[in-house]
Structure 1
Amino acid sequence: MADPHFDVVIIGSGAGGGTMARALAGRDASVLVLERGDWVPQEKENWEPAAVWRRRRYRTDERWVNRKGEDFVPFMHYNVGGNTKFWGAALFRLRESDFDPVEYPGGTSPAWPIDYQTLAPWYDRAEELYEVHGQKGADPTEADRKPYPHPAVPHEPVMARIVEQLAARGVGAFPLPLGLINPAEPGGCLLCDTCNSFPCLLRAKSDADTCGVTPALESENVELWTGARAVRLVTDASGRRVTGVEVNRRGERVHLTAGTVVLAAGAVNSAALLLASRTDRHTDGLANSSGLVGRHYMAHVSTMMEAFHPFQVNPTLFQKTVGINDFYLPDHGRSYPLGHIQSQGRAHAAIVKAVMPGLPMWAAEAWVQRGVDWLAMTEDLPDPENRVSLTPDGRIRLDYRHNNLQVHRELVREAAQMMRRLGAWVVIRHRFKNANTTHQCGTLRFGEDPRTSVLDLYCRTHDVENLFVTDSSFFPSSAAVNPGLTVIAQTLRVADHLLATDLGGSA
């Protein structure tokens, strides 16, 4: 029997892979999406904090190795839609300044090889595809743009009062851009307190399954294999073209052939797959003539913060509606930016117990009932020693040490002072430090020079002509806002290029 053949094989079904499948749906090309996990079941546990956080019902039990040689379980979900099934759906554009070099006390955030205006049309399309709700002009750091496809999600009373208090103190809070489907409408998003880090039981969150894979599968040209992990990319004798993919499909080894391969397994796993696909022509890993595959890993420097008041119960359900970018650009007497602040989904006692297991449950309950949850986020800088590699037995090793910490401490201090001015008695802080694997990016940076980048400006590998990468691997810097929308926008841009070139001008 001949090996199965597809015009395009997409590896991964998250923001990059799921969006690519949607963009190629209905075209004159056979498309296969490989997903190593399965569908997230729609079940009551979707909304149970203890199941999601304490029992880790949906997280992988895979173990990676850290820079000290110790095992750890990454914050990863292998399922249709990838980690987007569990994101909070804050879908930001990068600021215009994020595409330019940014100087920090601890180093430089490098320029992108494209500018904001290059990506702007695909940001428009990405927001439409993922049903983003927001308010044009509310965020002073945002570039001039078209109106959002949908109006901003209204603040609940407690959050609305906080926004008014911030405005009275000169802080420009704005509605977060959120990917939600028909919020507060019949059959749509309920605006509940189990959104951020939970899968949506109603499929009313804009994730890569709901907005990408599932609609794509309505087209006859798109097929999905679940339980199918790509273990190796196979090339021709020249090493210039991928000819196939070795797949472990539910325990069976399958070889399939492909005209074009789109790698979208996430910044860590995409780099790991290229390293695992070394050949006589690519002795240091596929597409690695630069030696940069796996290097410059970034994942943001983030601190969770809870503004606690012992006598004020917070009845808010959907809390994640407020963004603050007053510290995103150089200002306040600083020659450098600090980063971004946003309100978070409601913490639950089970979440607190998972993070701080020694805390009594009654204390965790009291804490979350009387708190308002925030996130302070600063960009970490690309460092070639922050990298993905493989252990001798083929496991993923993640060497990662946060940097730009002075700037992050300044942002956290500003955020804590802001919360205290609003009446918080205590501001509790928790940083996930070097084990963080959310917002991962940067391991296969794009650029024009094959000596200093792995991918070209359309995310085609410099070394292998029919291999593209459409996850956050391509980021040369991490900026300080959520990366998801930029992955989606660049994927749509790459899809248009692919349709106009490799797939015969069928765009």
Structure 2
Amino acid sequence: MTQADVIIIGSGMGGATLAAALAPSGRRILILERGEHLRPSAQDRDPQAIFADGHFRPDETWLDGEGQAFNPGNYYCVGGNSKFYGAALIRYRKEDFEARQHMGGHSPGWPIPYDALEADYSAAEELYDVHGRTDEDPTEPPHSKGYPHPPVSDEADIADLRIRLQRAGLTPSSVPLGVDIDQWLAAGQTTWDAFPNTCGGKMDAETCALAKALQHGNVELLTGALVRRLVADRDGRVTGVEVDGQGVLHAPVITLAAGAVQSSALLLQSANDNCPTGLANRSDQVGRNFMNHNCSAVLAMHPLRRNRAVYQKTLMFNDYYNGDGEGGLPLGNIQMLGKITGPILASQTPLPGPIAALIADRSFDFYAMSEDLPNPDSRVTVKGGQIRLDWKRSNWAAHEALVAKLKQHLRQAGFPIVLSRPFDRRTPSHQCGTARMGHDPASSVVDTYCRSHDHKNLFIVDASVLPTSAAVNPALTIAALALRAGRHIIETEFAA
């Protein structure tokens, strides 16, 4: 493609969905992806390779707030992190768009209400073939349409668990999932959480949105395209993208969708004489307000009861999402983890293999998730090309309260042994917030259509723009925002 009308940097959930939205316009769209396609391999369903050896993790090092190096666990490939995600495509709750108090501070809410994004949520659910129900969860926000497909069925032991949780006073509901369960299991008897999708059974950014976009002859994907910086002129227009081995590529519209850390790092590294602190950064908010969900794995066991589930990730409950059940503040979401097996547990703990297998055979595995609140001092910075991520974890007391509530209910449900372990910084638990959305250019980076306040032809369409993290998986919200931005680009940039 000698000349593009739109350049999209990144092929993950935001970039691929934006491409699908723009493709029918007929405009020339070039997608730049630093990674390559994942191809089927012997390691795809090998827990030792994935969890112990880190076969798919990139050879990359960031620094934490103390200057200590760590491997962050992001993935660079066509489809981005969605190739490894848990395929939970959950809408933010209506309350997440509103300002509200948490145990750890104040959540500012969004500059748009839930209703402004509802139609895009429905369109995103169609695009990603989501399986779910709207009538089980009391916190489910209003839907103009039902889910495209019925829920993925509980396995027998999970169906029994659902009944046990109900008897313990909880309201379990089906996780909205982007999974073709038959196709996934035909390629291997594993869960999909953290396993790469090379069989097409998981509805990720490549399988759904990118495949739809590439059906149009005006869309091109360039892999192995590492973007070094964005180029802007004195008038504030982003004129090009500098790519290793390609020089500077030009387009009238530039869209950034490299992920919350990499997108902000790229903007900071693109500083020039007119923008000495980085592009889109007149507000000094680029890289700030980094959020990463507070998450823990919780394992419930009965020594005489086995869990024969293969994938198990079909139920969740939000009984403590909007309050602690006693008139107190929000705590968060509980959903099933993909089934933990002996090799997975052994790779993450000092347990010997036989003991890990004994525990995993009897464990029901939960994922407790609480909101992390925006903090301008929680931030991404770059010096000499080195990314530094100083994450200021917040609202931890709420997360501890959520885990305590879960443990109490699990014991009531017949599990005498309940163990928990928080996720550490090596697990990218829904990173977001570094180019926040807002009405005021002095305190935000993009407007409500994901357009940069400072550079009118620059859009950011990934988790960077999320004003709050909420306490559910962000993938569907990222897709909905990308569809909204795509419609706006067609109406404003392509109108002539």
TM value normalised by structure 2: 0.97
The equivalences for 1:218-237 within 5 A come to 218-237=215-234
Instruction: Give distance in 2, aligned partners of 1:197 and 1:237.
Output: 44
1:317 has 2:295 as partner: no
| TM-superposition CA deviations, 1:255-285 (whole Å, max 9, x none) | 1111111100000000000000001110100
Match of 1:360 among 352, 377, 381: 352
2:239 counterpart residue number = 243
Classify the secondary structure of the residue corresponding to 2:211: helix
The equivalences for 1:181-196 within 5 A come to 181=180, 183-184=181-182, 187=183, 190=186, 192-196=189-193
Report the AA paired with residue 475 of structure 1.
Answer: L
CA-CA distance at 1:435 after TM superposition: 4.2
Cα pair 2:461 2:481 within 8 Å, conserved: yes
CA-CA distance at 1:354 after TM superposition: 2.6
Classify the secondary structure of the residue corresponding to 2:141: coil
CA-CA distance at 1:86 after TM superposition: 0.3
Cα pair 1:299 1:436 within 8 Å, conserved: no
2:177 counterpart residue number = 178
2:372 counterpart residue number = 380
Instruction: Give distance in 2, aligned partners of 1:140 and 1:79.
Output: 37
Instruction: Give distance in 2, aligned partners of 1:435 and 1:195.
Output: 19
CA-CA distance at 1:75 after TM superposition: 1.5
Cα pair 2:238 2:254 within 8 Å, conserved: yes
| TM-superposition CA deviations, 1:144-163 (whole Å, max 9, x none) | 21211100111111111111
Instruction: Give distance in 2, aligned partners of 1:189 and 1:346.
Output: 13
Cα pair 2:191 2:312 within 8 Å, conserved: no
1:64 counterpart residue number = 62
Cα pair 1:402 1:434 within 8 Å, conserved: no
CA-CA distance at 1:104 after TM superposition: 1.5
Cα pair 1:4 1:255 within 8 Å, conserved: no
- When structure 1 is superposed on structure 2, of 26-35 and 442-451 the one drifting more is 26-35
| TM-superposition CA deviations, 1:155-175 (whole Å, max 9, x none) | 111111111122223211001
1:152 counterpart residue number = 151
TM value normalised by structure 1: 0.95
- When structure 1 is superposed on structure 2, of 81-90 and 417-426 the one drifting more is 417-426
CA-CA distance at 1:59 after TM superposition: 1.3
Classify the secondary structure of the residue corresponding to 1:47: coil
1:414 counterpart residue number = 405
Instruction: Give distance in 1, aligned partners of 2:426 and 2:101.
Output: 26
* Structure 1 spans left out of the alignment, 5+ residues: none
Match of 1:294 among 268, 278, 287: 287
- When structure 1 is superposed on structure 2, of 9-18 and 425-434 the one drifting more is 425-434
Instruction: Give distance in 2, aligned partners of 1:130 and 1:27.
Output: 20
Report the AA paired with residue 321 of structure 2.
Answer: Y
CA-CA distance at 1:189 after TM superposition: 5.5
2:47 counterpart residue number = 49
Match of 1:490 among 466, 481, 485: 481
Instruction: Give distance in 1, aligned partners of 2:39 and 2:49.
Output: 13
CA-CA distance at 1:27 after TM superposition: 2.3
CA-CA distance at 1:60 after TM superposition: 0.9
CA-CA distance at 1:218 after TM superposition: 2.1
Cα pair 1:234 1:245 within 8 Å, conserved: yes
Instruction: Give distance in 2, aligned partners of 1:432 and 1:136.
Output: 30
The equivalences for 1:210-221 within 5 A come to 210-221=207-218
Classify the secondary structure of the residue corresponding to 1:347: coil
* Paired-residue identity, %: 43
Instruction: Give distance in 1, aligned partners of 2:326 and 2:341.
Output: 38
Report the AA paired with residue 44 of structure 2.
Answer: N
Please give the root-mean-square deviation of Cα atoms over the aligned residues, in Å.
1.5
| TM-superposition CA deviations, 1:68-119 (whole Å, max 9, x none) | 1011000211000000000010000010000011202321011100001000
The equivalences for 1:72-83 within 5 A come to 72-83=70-81
1:426 has 2:417 as partner: yes
* Structure 2 spans left out of the alignment, 5+ residues: none
Cα pair 1:216 1:222 within 8 Å, conserved: yes
1:307 has 2:324 as partner: no
